[in-house]
């Protein structure tokens, strides 16, 4: 980096370096990196462009820039990302929450408020394949004031991922008395029939696994990505098994790849669940299906 250590000059150099490495949104990422390793937020960067960085700040920023140019996800470098208006801890043991998953969260919140607003007792919610916990935690937070959710269970096969989910639950002050964590295969062994089950399962197929962008394929856990040869293994299990874990009229909401909707609907056609809603993501791609258990 240059002898001049001003915010303005360093910011421009970071942008150039990111661009040369094939990073797309260089302005935003450069600003976020500078903020993370100097404490100068974007407003400060604009107001005081001649402010000087210390040698320690420069060293830390350079190390982070080197990692980003090796295509390590920005979220893993920063240690967090934002989802549904809240920050969530992220590391190499979990998928980084994607904005399109907010579609699932928003739809489930709407269903809960429409179905259970007058319920005499709170409902039970399971977020399985929870990863960071962002889906379940966001739903809880948005429903907290109405006291609709009595019990929230977060489940993942990965104990390391569950540790991240626990940290995020603590970060957002979810009450321990109503929250449980399970490290098991899809379904906790707790004899609970859930009113709501959410699941963003591994759904990348064999061919697409070989074509993933490096930020995903090289740095995110394969176990959270690979959904079997055709990407549909988990949906087959959900179709077979969900009815045993849902209460009457309970709902199952799943995320899926843009080209999997018809195949998943066909898989669920033979299950006791009926299709309730189909939702597209912010780019207009098929993304979420909601099914309902018979009453």
CA distance 242 to 218: 32
Helix axis angle for 102-116 and 134-143, nearest 10°, is 40
Q: Which residue has the tokens 């018809």?
A: 262
Beta bridge partners, 82, equal: 87
DSSP state of 291: E
Q: Which tokens sit at 67?
A: 């990692």
Instruction: Write down the pLDDT at residue 3.
Output: 53
pLDDT of residue 294: 87
Distance CA 166, CA 260 (A): 31
Q: What's the mean pLDDT in 202-220?
A: 97
Task: Please check whether residue 123 is in contact with residue 112, taking contact to mean a CB–CB distance below 8 angstroms.
Answer: yes
Say which range, 11-20, 112-121, 187-196, has the weakest mean pLDDT.
Answer: 112-121
**Phi/psi of residue 53, nearest 5 degrees:** -90, 150
Q: Is the pLDDT of residue 150 over 90?
A: yes
Q: How far apart are CA 188 and CA 291, in angstroms?
A: 20
1-27 pLDDT, tens digit each: 445 899 999 999 999 999 999 999 999
Asked whether 243 and 271 are in contact (CB, 8 A), the reply is yes
Please give the biggest Cα pair distance in the chain: 71
- Per-residue pLDDT band for 125 (boundaries 50, 70, 90) equals very high
Sign of CA dihedral 30, 32, 38, 41: positive
Q: What is the pLDDT of residues 268-282, one digit of tens each?
A: 999 999 999 999 999
Provide the mean pLDDT of the chain.
96
Amino acid 120: pLDDT? 75
pLDDT above 90: percentage of residues in the chain: 95
Predicted local confidence at residue 2, as pLDDT: 45
Q: What is the CA radius of gyration of the chain?
A: 21
Q: Tell me the per-residue pLDDT of 37-73, one tens digit each, with 9 for 90 and over.
A: 999 999 999 999 999 999 999 999 999 999 999 999 9
Distance from C-alpha of 243 to C-alpha of 240, rounded to nearest angstrom: 7
């Amino acid at each position: 980096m240059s002898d001049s250590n001003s915010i303005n000059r360093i910011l421009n150099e970071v942008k150039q370096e990111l661009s040369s490495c094939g990073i797309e949104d260089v302005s935003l990422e450069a600003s976020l990196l500078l903020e993370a390793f100097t404490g100068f937020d974007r407003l400060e960067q604009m107001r005081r462009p001649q402010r000087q960085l210390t040698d320690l700040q420069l060293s830390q920023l350079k190390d982070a820039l080197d990692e980003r140019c090796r295509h390590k996800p920005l979220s893993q470098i920063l240690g967090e990302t934002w989802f549904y208006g809240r920050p969530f801890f992220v590391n190499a043991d979990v998928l980084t929450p994607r904005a399109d998953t907010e579609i699932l969260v928003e739809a489930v919140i709407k269903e809960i408020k429409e179905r259970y607003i007058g319920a005499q007792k709170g409902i039970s919610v399971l977020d399985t394949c929870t990863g960071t916990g962002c889906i379940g935690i966001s739903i809880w937070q948005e429903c907290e004031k109405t006291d609709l959710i009595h019990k929230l269970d977060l489940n993942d096969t990965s104990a390391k991922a569950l540790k991240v989910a626990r940290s995020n639950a603590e970060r957002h002050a979810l009450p321990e008395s109503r929250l449980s964590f399970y490290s098991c295969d899809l379904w906790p062994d707790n004899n609970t029939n859930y009113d709501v089950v959410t699941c963003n399962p591994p759904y990348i197929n064999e061919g697409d696994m070989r074509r993933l962008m490096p930020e995903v394929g090289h740095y995110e856990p394969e176990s959270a990505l690979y959904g079997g040869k055709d990407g549909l293994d988990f949906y087959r299990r959900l179709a077979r098994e969900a009815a045993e874990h849902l209460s009457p009229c309970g709902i199952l909401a799943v995320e899926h790849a843009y080209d999997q909707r018809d195949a998943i609907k066909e898989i669920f056609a033979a299950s006791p669940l009926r299709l309730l809603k189909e939702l597209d993501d912010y780019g207009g791609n098929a993304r979420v299906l909601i099914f309902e258990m018979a009453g």
